[in-house]
């Protein structure tokens, strides 16, 4: 009996080990900013730029990477996940992109210290940011640009940016999402540069 019990225990342990070995390991992803050595536009005195808040729909505010299977269906991968909260990843990459594309070396991510004087603030409300079943990534977002002391928004726009992933692998999808976010960053950077240049003309 003792021998049979030992064999049974060994069998259970081996089965558990086999199950663990068969379970796929998770992979984690982040978005990438534009290259730091990208050719910058003519510098304007934009001052300090604040990025955020960044709003996401609840279906995207989760660790699993979402893929749209059709107009009414979203699926999530349990083994392909964001390395941190997607909201934080987007805010950080957008800040890095604006630092290069405005360009400015004074960029803060919301919430920033009260003592920090922000000249321009970017608020982004994302309504869609996922790939479809064919691997095409769509970024749809409303963004607003505020200037310190101005009674109204400096700029407000709905952006819809589509990028082809070129494959259905998750690394291809995340790379396409990075390019889409770079496209949104260029739109916002252009608005900041235009507002700063206009303000400089008024102050002459």
> Residue 64's pLDDT is what?
96
Question: Phi/psi of residue 135, each to 5°?
Answer: 95, 5
Encoded tokens for 193? 């540069």
The answer to whether 201 and 58 are in contact (CB under 8 A) is: no
Q: End-to-end CA distance of the chain, in Å?
A: 96
% residues pLDDT > 90 (the chain)? 63
- Residue 149 exposed, middle or buried by CB count within 10 Å (0-12, 13-18, 19+): exposed
Which residues lie below 8 Å from residue 154, measured CB to CB, with a gap of 6+?
120, 145, 146, 147, 191, 195
**The residue to which tokens 């660790």 are assigned:** 63
Distance between CA atoms of residues 14 and 96, nearest Å:
49
Domains contained in the chain, CATH given:
27-203 (3.40.50.10610)
Encoded tokens for 28? 């984690």
Mean residue pLDDT across the chain:
86
Residues of the chain with pLDDT under 70: 1-23, 38-43, 199-204
> Residue 6's pLDDT is what?
52
Report which of 181, 49, 170 is spatially closest to residue 107, judged by C-alpha positions.
49
**Residue 9 CA: distances (Å) to CA of 13, 16, 19, 111, 131:** 6, 11, 15, 54, 46
Which tens digit of pLDDT belongs to each residue from 151-167? 789 999 999 999 998 88
**Residue 115 CA: distances (Å) to CA of 34, 118, 142:** 29, 9, 28
């Amino acid at each position: 009996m003792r021998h049979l019990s030992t064999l049974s225990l060994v069998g259970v342990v081996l089965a558990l080990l086999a199950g663990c070995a068969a379970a796929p390991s998770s992979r984690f992803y982040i978005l990438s900013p534009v290259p730091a050595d990208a050719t910058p536009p003519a510098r304007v005195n934009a001052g300090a730029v604040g990025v955020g808040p960044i709003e996401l729909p609840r279906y995207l505010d989760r660790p699993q990477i979402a893929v749209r299977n059709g107009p009414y269906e979203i699926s999530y991968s349990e083994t392909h996940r964001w390395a941190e909260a997607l909201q934080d990843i987007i805010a950080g990459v957008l800040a890095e992109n604006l630092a290069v594309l405005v360009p400015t070396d004074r960029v803060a991510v919301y919430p920033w210290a009260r003592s920090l004087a922000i000249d321009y603030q970017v608020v982004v409300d994302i309504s869609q940011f996922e790939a479809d079943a064919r691997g095409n990534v769509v970024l749809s977002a409303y963004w607003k640009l505020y200037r310190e002391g101005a009674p109204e928004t400096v700029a407000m726009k709905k952006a819809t940016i589509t990028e082809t992933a070129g494959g259905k692998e998750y690394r291809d999808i995340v790379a396409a999402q990075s390019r889409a976010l770079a496209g949104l960053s260029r739109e916002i950077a252009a608005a900041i540069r235009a507002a700063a240049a206009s303000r400089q003309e008024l102050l002459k």
